[in-house]
């Protein structure tokens, strides 16, 4: 069988999403030997045991877990902003230094991903650059404000990293040089990777990091959205192919909702609950969403969003003026 090295970073807040991701990865890749590297922050022993219990269900997986709390003081010297109150996400910038006997190649997955396909093609993917990733939806205005020389901007939720190529292009030095320039970073680790490796990231198919909006909107609305944001994104043919045969879904923020919160709108929630039930049975309640439209009929919600999207701006402004009187 082929070998696949996969790395997650996690804290207690994202434990359940990561358990879902791990279960989905192993269930859909039973023909692959998986070496699983978990870098964790403040994870009690009982939570660590939950990870071990899942892995025990699959004979094709080896598990390696590392508490990286001791790394954070060293990381603080670089003054990288926290992401959602933690430094754990920034650990992906230093994987080769953190993981003992780090393998030559690793697939990094955010803990809020769901693997829905076999990754055999990704294992055999002939990588020419140190990082391979999927293009992000973020507007061109944002990432060019970081660095006008950027021609593309990638999402860091799914990264295929070749550490031999990383070493050849002085990857660690690139990161250090970027940190010294004191950029204003909104998405710290992601921004740093894009700036530091601006000419050393190659594009993976969209199927390896599908966002909720990629399946929520029709193909024409998606492309109109990208055009409005001046995003150089995938072709219509590539988007349709990825939607037809997705490999990895990314449960990012979607109208302030996540699949682990009560709602009827999130596109991947049924699939998320399917795996969560396999892990816990039916005993895990969802978090409250505290959002008024969360339990709206999804068809009505989609209709409203399409009306917002296609209603001309002057009509929108006129309606706002009428309603404000």
Kindly report, residue by residue over 239-271, the tens digit of the pLDDT.
999 999 999 999 999 999 999 999 999 999 999
Q: Can you tell me whether residue 97 is helix, strand or coil? A: helix
Domain CATH for 59: 3.90.550.10
Structure tokens at 41: 């922050």
How many C-beta atoms surround the C-beta of residue 265 within 10 A? Answer: 22
140 within some domain: yes
Segments forming the whole domain that contains residue 108: 2-252
242 within some domain: yes
DSSP annotation of 71 reads G
323 within some domain: no
293 within some domain: no
270 within some domain: no
Q: How far apart are CA 118 and CA 26, in angstroms?
A: 9
Looking up tokens 């870098």 gives 39
- Mean pLDDT computed over 206-231: 88
123 bridge partner residues: none
318 within some domain: no
Asked if 205 contacts 158 with a C-beta cutoff of 8 angstroms, the reply is no
**Bigger pLDDT: 96 vs 78:** 96
Number of domains composing the chain: 1
pLDDT at 253: 93
DSSP annotation of 190 reads H
Question: How far from the centroid of its chain's Cα atoms is residue 104's Cα?
Answer: 22
Of the CA atoms within 13 Å of residue 101, those in its CB half-sphere come to 2
Q: How far apart are CA 313 and CA 290, in angstroms?
A: 29
Rg of the chain (C-alpha set): 20
* Model confidence at 90: pLDDT above 80: no
136 within some domain: yes
Instruction: Give the pTM.
Output: 0.92
155 within some domain: yes
Structure tokens at 269: 């929630």
Structure tokens at 146: 């970081």
pLDDT at 224: 82
Which residues, at least 6 apart from 176, have a Cβ–Cβ distance to it below 8 Å?
A: 78
pLDDT for 112-165, tens place per residue? 999 999 999 998 888 999 999 999 988 888 888 888 888 889 999 999 999 999
């Amino acid at each position: 069988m082929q070998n696949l090295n996969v790395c997650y970073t996690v804290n207690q807040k994202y434990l359940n999403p990561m358990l879902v991701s791990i279960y989905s990865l192993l269930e859909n890749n039973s023909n692959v030997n998986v070496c699983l590297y978990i870098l964790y922050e403040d994870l009690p022993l009982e939570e660590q045991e939950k990870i071990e219990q899942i892995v025990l269900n699959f004979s094709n997986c080896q598990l390696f877990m590392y508490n990286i709390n001791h790394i954070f003081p060293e990381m603080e010297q670089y003054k990288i902003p926290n992401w959602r109150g933690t430094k754990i996400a920034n650990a992906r910038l230093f994987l080769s230094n953190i993981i003992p006997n780090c393998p030559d190649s690793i697939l990094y997955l955010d803990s809020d991903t769901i693997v829905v396909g076999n990754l055999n093609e990704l294992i055999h993917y002939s990588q020419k650059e140190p990082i391979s990733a999927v293009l992000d939806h973020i507007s061109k205005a944002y990432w060019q404000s970081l660095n006008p020389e950027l021609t593309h901007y990638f999402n860091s939720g799914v990264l295929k990293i070749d550490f031999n190529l990383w070493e050849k292009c002085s990857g660690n030095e690139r990161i250090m040089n970027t940190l010294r320039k004191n950029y204003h970073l909104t998405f710290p680790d992601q921004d740093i990777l894009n700036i530091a490796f601006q000419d050393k990231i190659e594009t993976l198919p969209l199927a390896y990091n599908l966002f909720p909006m990629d399946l929520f909107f029709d193909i024409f609305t998606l492309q109109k959205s990208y055009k409005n944001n001046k995003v150089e994104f995938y072709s219509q043919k590539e988007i349709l192919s990825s939607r037809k045969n997705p490999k990895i879904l990314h449960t990012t923020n979607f109208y302030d909702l996540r699949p682990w919160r009560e709602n009827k709108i999130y596109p991947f929630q049924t699939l998320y609950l399917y795996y969560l039930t396999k892990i816990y049975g039916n005993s895990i309640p969802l978090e409250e969403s505290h959002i008024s439209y969360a339990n709206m009929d999804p068809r009505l919600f989609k209709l409203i969003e399409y009306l917002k999207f296609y209603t001309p701006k002057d009509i929108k402004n006129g309606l706002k003026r009428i309603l404000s009187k």
